Amino acid sequence: MAIPVPKPKFKRHKPTAKQRGEVTKKVRDQLEARSGGMCERCGRHGVQAAHITRRWKLKKTTVNDLIHLCISCHHWADNTADGRKWLKRLEGQK
């Protein structure tokens, strides 16, 4: 049987990927102004902020790291090879 190891008492030095990927109100407003509240791929309403660059690669999320996508386009971009290639092309453009 393994002996439990005590939890470390020091604080984390770097922010987590979740913290680095957090979208502030200012960034969300900038994104809304850029997209007009419409999907930046197909033009539909009902959008969500999608990360172009994966959160674990970011130091802090900016408007250039995000794109407004509808649910269908967001699913396509995150879960298909073509969608990931499309996001990769956008990485340097926004």
Could you write out the DSSP letters of every residue in 26-93? Answer: HHHHHHHHHHTTS-TTT--SSEEEEESS-GGG-SS--GGGEEEEEHHHHHHHHHSHHHHHHHHHHTTT
What's the pTM?
A: 0.74
The string of pLDDT tens digits covering residues 58-88 is: 888 889 989 999 999 999 999 999 999 999 9
Whether residue 82 lies inside any domain: the answer is yes
DSSP letters along 5-42, please?
Answer: PPPP-SPPSS--HHHHTPPPHHHHHHHHHHHTTS-TTT
Residue 11 lies in a domain: no
Please count the structural domains in the chain: 1
* CATH number of 62's domain: 1.10.30
What average pLDDT score do residues 26-42 get? 94
Domain-located, residue 70: yes
| Average pLDDT along the chain | 89
Residue 9 inside a domain? The answer is no
* Predicted pLDDT of residue 53: 85
Q: Give the domain range for residue 79.
A: 17-90
Six token digits for residue 72: 């269908």
Q: Indicate whether 8 belongs to any domain.
A: no
- Band (pLDDT 50/70/90 cuts) for residue 94 is low
